[in-house]
Amino acid sequence: MVLIFRHLNVQIKLTSLYDNFIANITHELKSPLSSIQLYLETLMIRDVTVEKQKEFLKQIFNDTKRLQNLINSILEISALENKKRKDIFSEKSAKEFFIKIIKNSAANFKSKDEALSLSIIGDCKIKVDEQLFKMVFDNLIDNSIKYSINELKISVLISCNEKNVEIYFKDNGIGIELNKQKNIFKKFYRIYANDIPNVRGTGLGLYWVREIIKNHRGNISVFSEGIGRGATFKIVLPAYRNNI
Ligand code: ADP
């Protein structure tokens, strides 16, 4: 009997997570679409200056990119989960690869240059799927922006040794309560923050990040001293052969 209730409880929790997810993903899909529609209507109905036209087209382009990224991520991860994704691993210098990919992700989110500080100790070879790793840093940076109230500061420390590459990705955002930290990598899991009640999201980002890192034989963990104290994500990946 106890077991049945426990099972029911788990099912109810899963159902409510899933219902929230459906509401959230619908919003994620609808909001860029509505924005595109509004810009197009304005362009069709009103006489807008060439300057404004350019601004609207840029917004439309950004909204289509946001939709495309979301849909691509869903397809990529579903293929990864079902082991249907063709691995495109290639050997790279950790130093070159991470500088490039982290700077690109930060630029996509228009975060100010001074918001990001990057330091690297040593170098080694890694085997990575570039497309998937782009999703890792897109999600981490997107979250740092979403879950911060004050002026954002991200610092990344990458350190190579003979066995591993360790990446410490630290922000100065709202932080995460200790008892919730272990849940944030679960599918659909989101935390409601009083200070920022309307943050968009699906609860999939960090789940994707963990799946991608697992696929690279690595692991990810989070550490935060609590609310208002920022968060640090630690990624460990295997290094190949000796240091470069
Ligand atoms: P989403 O951002 O769509 O809610 P994620 O899977 O990316 O989903 O994150 C899960 C939860 O973890 C978020 O709802 C948020 O509460 C928390 N979180 C993630 N990254 C951070 C961060 N950098 N600082 C504070 N909280 C975070």
Could you report the per-residue pLDDT of 171-217, keeping only the tens digit for each? 999 999 999 999 999 998 999 877 787 888 889 999 999 999 999 99
Residue 104 has pLDDT above 70, yes or no: yes
Nearest CA residue ID for atom 2, ligand 1: 201
Residue 12 has what pLDDT?
Answer: 65
Number of the ligand 1 atom closest to the C-alpha atom of 202:
3
Residue 8 has what pLDDT?
Answer: 60
| Residue 176 in contact with ligand 1 by CB distance below 6 A | yes
Q: What backbone phi and psi angles, to 5 degrees, belong to 74?
A: -60, -45
Number of the ligand 1 atom closest to the C-alpha atom of 233:
23
Nearest-angstrom CA–CA distance, 96 and 94: 6
Residue 86 has what pLDDT?
Answer: 82
| Residue 224 in contact with ligand 1 by CB distance below 6 A | no
Region of 112 on the Ramachandran plot (φ > 0 left; ψ -120 to 50 alpha; else beta): beta
Q: Is 238 helix (H, G, I), strand (E, B) or coil?
A: strand
Nearest-angstrom CA–CA distance, 119 and 140: 17
Q: Is 111 helix (H, G, I), strand (E, B) or coil?
A: coil
Determine the distance from the C-alpha atom of residue 57 to the mean position of all C-alpha atoms in its chain, rounded to a whole number. 26
Distance of CA 191 from the midpoint of ligand 1 (Å): 7
Could you report the per-residue pLDDT of 131-176, keeping only the tens digit for each? 999 999 999 999 999 999 989 999 999 999 889 999 999 999 999 9
Whole-prediction pTM value? 0.86
The count of other CB atoms within 10 Å of the CB of residue 22 is 11
For 67-81, 118-132, 199-213, which range has the lowest pLDDT when averaged over its residues?
Answer: 67-81
Distance of CA 207 from the midpoint of ligand 1 (Å): 10
Distance of CA 206 from the midpoint of ligand 1 (Å): 7
Could you report the per-residue pLDDT of 1-55, keeping only the tens digit for each? 666 666 666 666 677 777 888 888 888 899 999 999 999 999 999 999 999 999 9
